[in-house]
Amino acid sequence: MITDTTQWPSPAKLNLFLYITGRRANGYHELQTLFQFIEQGDEISITANQTGQITLSPDLEGVSTEDNLIYKAAMALKPFADAEYGADIHIDKKLPMGGGIGGGSSNAATVLVALNFLWKLGLSEDQIADIGLNLGADVPVFTRGYAAFAQGVGEELHRAEPEEKWYLVVRPNVAIATAEIFNHPDLHRSSPKRALSTLMNTPYENDCEKIVRMLYPEVDKQLSWLLQYAPSRLTGTGSCVFAEFSSYQDALSVFDRLPEEVSAFVTQGKNTSPLFETLAKYNLAYNLSI
């Protein structure tokens, strides 16, 4: 066990496109989507110990510790660890909840990857992904750490290499529940299934965008504003929207025109997760120290 306090990024993601291709008998939706990480994210500090306990700070308003995905992720690894293995986990929360950028799923994935390393469990990428899938459909893309084309209900992942563009991400002051959008009777659920090569060379769209814009005027307003300057879309089921640019300066110039009260940031797309860049550094550091 490594008992040093370690710092881990928990990056956000964008759905560069999202198409709903059908609905299964159990209610789950078939989809095709392209995930890419961004540099922006939460920061998680972990100190492994031998107390046998998992502690989490600070408390997340409206969410009990037992219901927090971070705690659930740590507890999901406990059966693979010695009984006395524990950890003190602290999160510096920067990503908005209900924003469609994967904050909770990323948090869970970061804890799975970090504790597998710190507790020296030796679980494989596939094992970690399987554990993550039980926590949430988006968790495996974060545990695998590469930009991915997802199919099925999101569990079929294939490595992808979209251009690492610069993005202006804007978060309207609303939180949107995924279930609300996926259960809406007017959601478009019949997009044709297409090959990734075709989708990569077709203008990107999000089938959830029409419903979200109809239900949430704040999202509609922000998207309309961004579309004046660059190709812009909803990510996931929202509420975050993003505009894409070829350079940092181009993104920054539009950022500077935003009204002061708008929550937004400029970031770059990453096809390799910052989490795995950190894991590689820790692997190198601790291998050298042995």
Query: Domains of the chain, with CATH numbers?
Result: 5-160+277-289 (3.30.230.10), 166-270 (3.30.70.890)
pTM over 0.85: yes
What is the distance between the alpha carbons of residues 287 and 173, in angstroms, rounded to a whole number?
A: 45
Q: Which residues contact 122 (CB under 8 A, 6 or more apart)?
A: 116
Element (H, E) at 15: strand 5-23
Alpha carbon separation from 50 to 2, 54, 55, 201, 247 (Å, rounded): 11, 10, 12, 52, 47
The reported pLDDT for the residue numbered 196 is 96
The reported pLDDT for the residue numbered 60 is 81
The reported pLDDT for the residue numbered 288 is 57
CA atoms within 13 A of residue 281's CA, in its CB half-sphere: 9
Q: Which residues contact 67 (CB under 8 A, 6 or more apart)?
A: none
Catalytic member of 138, 165, 207, 270:
138
What is the distance between the alpha carbons of residues 192 and 34, in angstroms, rounded to a whole number?
A: 15
Tell me, what DSSP letter sits at residue 80? Answer: G
Catalytic member of 13, 72, 165, 270:
13
Alpha carbon separation from 82 to 52, 121, 214, 231, 289 (Å, rounded): 8, 9, 51, 51, 24
Concerning whether 72 is annotated as a catalytic residue, the answer is no
Concerning whether 138 is annotated as a catalytic residue, the answer is yes
What is the distance between the alpha carbons of residues 14 and 271, in angstroms, rounded to a whole number?
A: 11
Q: Which residues contact 193 (CB under 8 A, 6 or more apart)?
A: 21, 32, 151
Q: Which residues contact 203 (CB under 8 A, 6 or more apart)?
A: 231
The reported pLDDT for the residue numbered 290 is 44
What is the distance between the alpha carbons of residues 157 and 144, in angstroms, rounded to a whole number?
A: 9
The reported pLDDT for the residue numbered 151 is 93
Q: For strands 86-92 and 54-57, give the pairing.
A: parallel
Structure token digits, residue 27: 């209610």
What is the distance between the alpha carbons of residues 181 and 20, in angstroms, rounded to a whole number?
A: 12
Q: Which residues of the chain have pLDDT under 50?
A: 290
